[in-house]
């Protein structure tokens, strides 16, 4: 175990991927670190669960650039956990993501790598081959900047994001002449992975997040469960004190600096540094009003949230099926953009089988908080209705019925084991309205930075850099670097 504590006391709020990353890095810098997580176990968003003898992923199906010398793999190396994680080999043909157009039966394989992707897209849309080449080249330039500069020169990325270069992703479709709705559908299929649509997100942000997947895609053998286990071992090794089942309720200040963290159960943790990785709106409740300027408070209060979802967990009739994902879309709709106006069965769906011997099937269908009442799942106070479970099952069975024809040759018939609704996500992720990926990173929003005006207080989590395992890990790096810089300057 490390000798720790020589550089002050630090409390990290939130034991998700971002918080675990940050806690690990701070402990390795010689700080005495306590990691506080309100759930009973670390990594509740991603650690998955077992039901009916099957393992289901909860928040980590696959990632970009996790293989070879990809950025995520390099970051896991730096965290010292890459040896504990096995990236699963791809199924034959190297295609992890298959798109299935429900309306015309066409399929599309997202291959590994930019060149192969350009080749596959140009073969399917030959009249757009020039536009496809220039669109992907523009995306790749942004992704390269991320790949080359993170984590050492991450300010370059912040500047690029703030510049608004390239407008929205939807603007980029127009400027590269990509007018075919089916092509737009394919190029926005992965917007589902971070819950923001082409008309809302900047082209630069989309390229930072999805560029990693276009570079290469991979699944971790054993999924989120294996990832959390690797983190837990490293945290223990680094001497981080882990407190689970406790909610941080207040960040106490002394002379405008962090002095400690109060727990909801009454305990106090003294601290010189605090990194908060929960949803940013929680921060406002944890601090006295005067801690932030009114303009910063309203900025945080007004962030829009990403949508929630109805997620089905099912047993496949076929056994030993190849792990992978199938994205169900309509070719004529221009992709995921207007999902709210469609019935659940007509929305984009993400179907995934994890890389695990006992893996179940997950089906993710976007669903808004306001739709809970429409489907009779909650009352006016948004509490579960008495027959919530029965209604959830009926809704899940009906949706699964519509999904089956598009995956039957891969999985056989599907049997519903359980389902999660926006209420489930609101409880489990502690996210307002069950937002799957926290706040939306909108084209016109100023990004939140890890440093705050409160001395010793830093922000991490999917709201800071980007959603996803990559975004959360990157945010852990940026927060740890800002915190250690401040300690070094003191
Ligand atoms: C259904 C689903 C599927 C997904 N699939 C993928 C995927 O395939 N690939 C991918 O890369 N990403 C995926 N994601 C996204 C990814 O899981 C998240 O972006 C990432 O895990 C966020 O990590 P985080 O640490 O920022 O946030 P969180 O995991 O939300 O961590 C914050 C933690 O803080 C805790 N907390 C909050 N308030 C307090 C408090 N006051 N005191 C103590 N603890 C507190 C919470 O309990 C939580 O554990 C998926 C997400 C979902 C929901």
The pairing of strands 273-276 and 414-420 is: unpaired
Rg for the chain, CA atoms, rounded: 22
pLDDT of 91: 61
pLDDT at 5: 46
Instruction: Check if 64 has its Cβ closer than 6 Å to any atom of ligand 1.
Output: no
366 in contact with ligand 1, CB cutoff 6 A: no
pTM score over 0.85: yes
Task: Give, for 261, the enclosing helix (H) or strand (E).
Answer: strand 257-263
Residue 68 has a pLDDT of 86
Question: Ligand 1 pocket, 347 CB below 6 A?
Answer: no
pLDDT in tens, 367-424: 999 999 999 999 998 999 999 999 999 999 999 999 999 999 999 999 999 999 999 9
pLDDT of 204-233, one tens digit each? Answer: 999 999 999 999 999 999 999 999 999 999
Q: What domains can be seen in the chain, in order of their start residue?
A: 9-53+221-303+442-489 (3.50.50.60), 307-436 (3.30.9)
Please state, as a whole number, how many other Cβ atoms lie within 10 Å of the Cβ of residue 311.
Answer: 24
Between CA 62 and CA 81 the distance in angstroms is: 17
In sequence order, which residues have a C-beta less than 8 Å from that of residue 478 and are 6 or more positions away? 151, 154, 450, 460, 464, 465
Cβ of 31 below 6 Å from ligand 1: no
Vertex 257 angle, CA 252 and 262, to 5°: 15
239: left (phi over 0), alpha (psi -120 to 50) or beta: left
Residue ranges of the chain whose pLDDT lies below 50: 1-5
Q: Is 160 exposed, middle or buried (0-12, 13-18, 19+ CB in 10 A)?
A: buried
Taken in order 437, 298, 447, 232, the sign of the CA dihedral is negative
- Ligand 1 near 459 CB (within 6 A): no
Considering only CA atoms, which residue is closest to atom 6 of ligand 1? 60
At residue 85, what are phi and psi to the nearest 5 degrees?
-120, 130
Tell me, what's the pLDDT at 334?
A: 65
Three-state DSSP at 219 gives coil
Distance CA(190)–CA(234), nearest Å, equals: 31
Pairing of strands 241-244, 32-37: parallel
Residue 155: name the closest of 163, 294, 459, 394 by CA. Answer: 163
Which tokens hold the place of 345? 């069965």
What is the residue with the minimal CA distance to atom 36 of ligand 1? Answer: 14
Amino acid 92: pLDDT = 61
> Which of 11, 16, 367 is the best mutation target for the ligand 1 pocket, counting ligand atoms within 8 Å of the beta carbon and taking the most?
16
Instruction: Report how far residue 102's alpha carbon sits from residue 329's, in angstroms, rounded to the nearest whole number.
Output: 6
| Mean pLDDT value across the chain | 93
The SS3 call for residue 150 is coil
Is there an atom of ligand 1 within 6 Å of 45 CB? yes
């Amino acid at each position: 175990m490390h000798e720790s504590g020589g550089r002050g006391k630090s409390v990290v709020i939130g034991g998700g991927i971002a918080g675990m990353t940050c806690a690990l890095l701070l402990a390795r810098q010689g700080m005495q670190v306590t990691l506080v997580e309100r759930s009973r176990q670390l990594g509740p968003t991603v650690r998955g669960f077992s039901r009916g003898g099957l393992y289901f992923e909860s928040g980590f199906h696959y990632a970009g650039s996790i293989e070879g010398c990809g950025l995520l793999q390099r970051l896991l190396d730096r965290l010292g956990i890459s040896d504990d994680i096995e990236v699963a080999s791809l199924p034959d043909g190297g295609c992890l993501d298959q798109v299935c157009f429900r309306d015309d039966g066409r399929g599309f394989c997202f291959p590994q790598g930019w060149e192969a992707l350009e080749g596959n897209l140009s073969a399917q849309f030959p009249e757009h081959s020039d536009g496809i080449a220039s669109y992907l080249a523009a995306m790749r330039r942004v992704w390269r900047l991320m790949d080359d500069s993170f984590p050492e020169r991450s300010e370059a990325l912040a500047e690029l994001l703030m510049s608004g270069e390239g407008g929205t992703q939807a603007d980029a479709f127009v400027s590269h002449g990509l007018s075919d709705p089916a092509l737009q559908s394919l190029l926005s299929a992965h917007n589902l992975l971070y819950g923001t649509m082409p008309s809302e997100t900047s082209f630069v942000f989309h390229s930072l997040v999805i560029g990693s997947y276009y570079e290469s895609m991979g699944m971790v053998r054993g999924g989120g469960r294996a990832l959390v286990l690797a983190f837990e071992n490293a945290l223990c090794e680094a001497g981080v004190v882990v407190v689970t089942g406790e909610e941080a309720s207040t960040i106490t200040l002394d002379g405008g600096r962090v002095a400690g963290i109060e727990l909801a159960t009454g305990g106090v943790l003294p601290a010189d540094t605090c990194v908060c990785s929960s949803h940013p709106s929680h921060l406002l409740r944890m601090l006295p009003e005067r801690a932030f300027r009114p303009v910063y408070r309203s900025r945080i209060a007004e962030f829009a949230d990403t949508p929630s979802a109805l997620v089905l967990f099912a047993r496949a009739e076929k056994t030993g099926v190849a792990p992978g994902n199938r994205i169900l879309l309509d070719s004529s709709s221009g992709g995921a953009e207007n999902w709210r106006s469609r019935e659940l069965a007509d929305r984009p769906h993400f179907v995934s089988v994890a890389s695990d011997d006992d893996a179940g099937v997950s089906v993710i269908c976007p669903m808004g908080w306001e739709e809970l009442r429409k489907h009779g799942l909650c009352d006016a106070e948004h509490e579960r209705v008495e027959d919530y479970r029965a209604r959830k099952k009926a809704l899940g069975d009906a949706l699964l019925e519509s999904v089956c024809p598009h995956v039957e040759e891969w999985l056989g018939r599907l049997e519903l084991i359980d389902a999660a609704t926006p209420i489930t996500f609101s409880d489990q992720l502690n996210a307002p309205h069950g937002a799957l990926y926290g706040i939306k990173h909108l084209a016109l929003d100023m990004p939140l930075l890890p440093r705050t005006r409160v001395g010793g207080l830093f922000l991490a989590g999917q709201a800071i850099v980007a959603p996803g395992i990559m975004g959360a890990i990157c945010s852990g790096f940026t927060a740890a670097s800002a915190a250690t810089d401040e300690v070094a300057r003191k």
